Structure 1
Amino acid sequence: MLKIWRNRTLRGTLIQGLVLLGTVALFASFVLTARENLVSQGIATGFGFLERSTGWPINFSLIEVSDRSPYSRMLLAGFLNTIYVGLLGLAAATLTGLVVGMMRISSNLVLNILGTIFVETFRNVPLILQVIFWYALLTHLPPPRGAIDLAGVGFLSNRGLMLPAPALSAMDLAILALGLLGVLFSARRMGGTRSGLTWVLGLGALAALFTVLLLTGRAPDMPLVSIPELRGLRFVGGLTVKPEFAALLIAIMMFGGAYVAEIVRGGFLSVDRGRLEAAKALGLSSWQIMRFVHIPLAIRAMLPALTNQYIWLMKATTLGVAIGYPDYFMVVSTSINQSGQTIELLLLLMGGFLAINYVIGGIMNTINARLAIKGRS
């Protein structure tokens, strides 16, 4: 026994095992104590409530739900709403941050000043205030009967933005999105001159799939494109972008874009000037230096900070509860008030955000590992 204890590897393994065992025992005691207390107070435990009807509706969902939907389906709707607004917000914040970041490093004084004003304005105002500001602005637009006409194909009112939409279901859109991801992955794997052919064939296949879904995935009397029309005090048909969704998306885009802009600026400024001068000495043009030297090295410097920022922005979608956007956090909060299953629903809430953010972190870490310069830690 003394020889085993003197072995550093075995001693470390034994200590780690004891710590892990103690942690599991402590967690199990907490769970059993909480369960005993709940039972003594007559509070039901378990996840059987997920099959009960909720009795309350939500105003936006990617899947069909009603006030008779069970808790499980309502939670799924909230989870999908969070992913939907979160991914769109990350994409919009990235594009905004890229443009503003390039303005910040531009030699043009006007663009530099405009980029600085954007960053200093939206970075220093709390996100929840921006969410409430945009929501108040959107809900103070004209009512439906006085809606702003957008060239006869769309309308803007305090009920939201009404736009034409193809007659496709959420499942059809999901199939097209998966197809686009497949094209992106295939083009990345092919590389070189073959990637161009992959893009042409892939986009052609997506166009054919879109046509087939548009023609077969609708009722015979349904038009190919649904146009919004004013009937009474509301609009029917088309696609409606709710003010709650738009306000949260704009706030994430502006707030996140300000931070991403600084990450982009820092990434470009971190590139060693000697490498840029070496590329210029080799006879590369300014565009070639930017494409083959400056951008790749800057992206490597940006990725760790971008990963942290993306995860933070995804968690910031919970601020939608302040304006009534039915995201995962709001649906869980309402479910707790209605069902009383606090512990179970909090576990589901934490598990949902852990899954989302672990996926984002895993994807970004994989990209970071692929782009890392070989031979350097």
Structure 2
Amino acid sequence: MPAAPLWRSRTTRSLLLQGGFALALLAAIVAATLTARANLSAQGMTSGFDFLWTSTGWEMNFTLLPAAPTDPYWWFLLLGLLNTLLMGLIGLGGASVIGLIVGLMRSGRNPAARFLATLYIELFRNLPLILQLFFWYALANALPNPRAALDLGPALLSSRGIYLPGLAVPYGAAIVIAAILLLGLALAIRVLAARRFARMEPVPRRVLALSLVLLAILASAAIALATHPPGTGWLSLPQPRGLRIDGGIRVQPEFACLAIAIMTYGGAYVGEIVRGGFKAVGRGQLEAARALGLSPWQVFSRVRLPLAFRAMLPILINQYVWLIKATTLGIAVGFSDFFMVIASSITHSGQTLELIGILMGGFLVVNFSLAAVLNRLNRAIALKGHNTGGAA
């Protein structure tokens, strides 16, 4: 019997169709690129990334590292990305803490606590984030000037920002100390959650994690001792000086308002996720824990919370990725995040396509990295064949 023609094979037809579609898509991309280059050349605009090494000629109002108008574009883009990461770290951390508290209140038996938590969620979840951002920014602008700043103990509150006590060390040393402390904390969390340490006994694993944190603290203390100016105090306290405030750490209104808006808005969604995670824990598992003689705190910390966290983590990943993208709203109040630096760079350089590509690539890297880390944590703590649902 003669063999059937190749064109009658479903596999062959599928491969040919997919290959033709890929070639057509590639041809469309190449044609669009050539057309865009021709149009740019006709308008006297050059394409490419050589502009990244030219000076910007403008200033950023908030940077973690030193910046000047003579710095190149690539340095400003890096600083904007660092600002976005810092805002994301503070926003996600604050939203997680608020959401955990609100979720516990919603899951409790106290009617007053449940009512307050429900009121908070319905209020902040149903108002647009940009509206909340404008509210906090208007409230910040309504604060008194530095001469009449509100005294909050060691901190001062004025229309120019929040002034907090800080270590009396150089700015660069403070950045290094903060990075070391965050690295130590991240390594400790990895030790507690990674599979490679799963066979280690719980007590040695906790000792190793605590040792990493203590090592980071000791290294930070050594840097502080080496860079601290002799003959001065260890704390730099904010002090009013006429029309300004000297000393301490200044948190700009734009930064503070965006952080508060993300934390309060994200906390409402995280609170509902936390409540759903607690409801996913089966009643039989809790009754079994009580039957073993565990105290109420042990039932919560060793049974209910771990199982609820496993149930809520997949949904939290999506929420965290969304909150990272919400940092782009900082441009509405003038916060120099990655998106605002890209927009300012487009205005000054005219390299629209290149900068939009950098913007998309930057957010893809950040969000994919965050999702990859959290997904790995999800796989590390997952119980194979275990079902956390079935709450009666």
TM-score computed with the length of structure 2 as normaliser: 0.89
Looking at structure 2, the residues matched to 288 and 11 of structure 1 have their Cα atoms a distance apart, in angstroms, of 61
Which residue in 1 is equivalent to 2:332? 322
Which residue in 2 is equivalent to 1:142? 144
How much has 1:191 moved relative to structure 2? 5.2
Looking at structure 2, the residues matched to 3 and 366 of structure 1 have their Cα atoms a distance apart, in angstroms, of 47
Q: Which of 155, 158, 180 in structure 1 is aligned with 2:185?
A: 180
Q: Is the 8 A contact 2:64 2:82 kept in 1?
A: yes
Q: Is the 8 A contact 2:40 2:46 kept in 1?
A: yes
How much has 1:102 moved relative to structure 2? 0.7
Q: Is the 8 A contact 2:181 2:216 kept in 1?
A: yes
Which residue in 2 is equivalent to 1:346? 356
Q: Which amino acid aligns with 1:175?
A: I
Looking at structure 2, the residues matched to 200 and 89 of structure 1 have their Cα atoms a distance apart, in angstroms, of 26
How much has 1:220 moved relative to structure 2? 5.6
Looking at structure 2, the residues matched to 288 and 175 of structure 1 have their Cα atoms a distance apart, in angstroms, of 33
TM-aligned CA distance change 1:370 to 1:19, over 3 Å: farther
Q: Is the 8 A contact 2:181 2:217 kept in 1?
A: no
TM-aligned CA distance change 1:371 to 1:20, over 3 Å: farther
User: How many positions carry a matched residue from both structures?
Assistant: 376
Q: Deviations over 1:95-129 (max 9, x none)?
A: 10010011011110110111011001111111001
Q: 110-119 or 21-30: which moved more?
A: 21-30
Q: Deviations over 1:178-198 (max 9, x none)?
A: 233223323443550113322
TM-score computed with the length of structure 1 as normaliser: 0.92
What is the 5 A alignment of 1:216-235? 216-218=226-228, 224-235=234-245
Q: Deviations over 1:334-377 (max 9, x none)?
A: 11111111111111111111111111111121122222231479
1:254 partnered with 2:255 = no
Q: Is the 8 A contact 1:318 1:330 kept in 2?
A: yes
Looking at structure 2, the residues matched to 342 and 45 of structure 1 have their Cα atoms a distance apart, in angstroms, of 9
Looking at structure 2, the residues matched to 154 and 306 of structure 1 have their Cα atoms a distance apart, in angstroms, of 33
How much has 1:241 moved relative to structure 2? 0.8
Q: 186-195 or 60-69: which moved more?
A: 186-195
Q: Which of 60, 85, 95 in structure 2 is aligned with 1:58?
A: 60
Which residue in 1 is equivalent to 2:381? 371
The CA RMSD measured in Å over matched residues stands at 2.3
How much has 1:204 moved relative to structure 2? 2.8
Q: Deviations over 1:201-241 (max 9, x none)?
A: 22332222112110223556775432223333112222111
Tell me the secondary structure at the aligned position of residue 61 of structure 1.
Answer: coil
Looking at structure 2, the residues matched to 279 and 7 of structure 1 have their Cα atoms a distance apart, in angstroms, of 59
Q: Which amino acid aligns with 1:165?
A: G
Looking at structure 2, the residues matched to 75 and 145 of structure 1 have their Cα atoms a distance apart, in angstroms, of 35
Q: 67-76 or 192-201: which moved more?
A: 192-201
TM-aligned CA distance change 1:14 to 1:371, over 3 Å: farther
Looking at structure 2, the residues matched to 216 and 374 of structure 1 have their Cα atoms a distance apart, in angstroms, of 50
Looking at structure 2, the residues matched to 35 and 217 of structure 1 have their Cα atoms a distance apart, in angstroms, of 52
Looking at structure 2, the residues matched to 273 and 144 of structure 1 have their Cα atoms a distance apart, in angstroms, of 56
Q: Which of 346, 356, 361 in structure 2 is aligned with 1:336?
A: 346
Which residue in 1 is equivalent to 2:321? 311
How much has 1:306 moved relative to structure 2? 0.8
Looking at structure 2, the residues matched to 7 and 366 of structure 1 have their Cα atoms a distance apart, in angstroms, of 41
How much has 1:250 moved relative to structure 2? 0.5
1:356 partnered with 2:356 = no
Q: Deviations over 1:22-63 (max 9, x none)?
A: 322322222122111111221111111111211111111101
